[in-house]
Amino acid sequence: MISALVHNPVFIGPAIGWFCAQGIKIILELVLNRTFSIERLFGSGGMPSSHSATVTALAVTTAARYGFSGFEFPIAFFFAFIVMYDARGVRRETGEQAKAINAMIKFIESMGTDIPGPDEFKELVGHTPLQVLAGAVLGIIVGLAVSASFGLI
């Protein structure tokens, strides 16, 4: 089973796309903030979008493996579209709401009232359009590279 996955470009492409995007997030965190955060390896949000990189690599490797005329590519394409739309829209809005709620909690607690619940809501859950685009470009590059290495293009 593992051997089949390792030799499947439609599995390998998205896996490498995700890993590259998450690795870039760690490197950017090191360069820009001079901190190492292992949470960036598994956390959501940030530059580039690992959601976009993963699903775009999936669509590219699916197209290379099965072509455009079957049902496989449209499924991968629209799955990618929905995931990227959600990452930029709904999930980003969730992060913005978390920022507002965190600010309200800090204000209320500064007045001496303790609010039960989590210390802070996670704010970095979605992506800006640029982060989604960067992830998509990364996914295209990875998808093409993996497809070429498997002799599909």
pLDDT in tens, 22-68: 999 999 888 988 887 777 677 777 889 999 999 999 999 999 999 99
**Higher-confidence position of 108 and 123:** 108
Residues above pLDDT 90, as percent of the chain: 52
Amino acid code (one letter) for 128: T
- Digit-coded pLDDT (tens) for 10-20: 999 999 999 99
User: What is the rounded average pLDDT of the residues 114-136?
Assistant: 82
| Ranges of each domain in the chain | 2-86+129-149, 90-125
Q: Considering only the C-alpha atoms of the chain, give the largest distance between any 2 of them, rounded to a whole number of Å.
A: 65
Q: How high does pLDDT run on average in the chain?
A: 89
143: tokens are 């998808």
Extract the tokens encoding 36: 């190492």
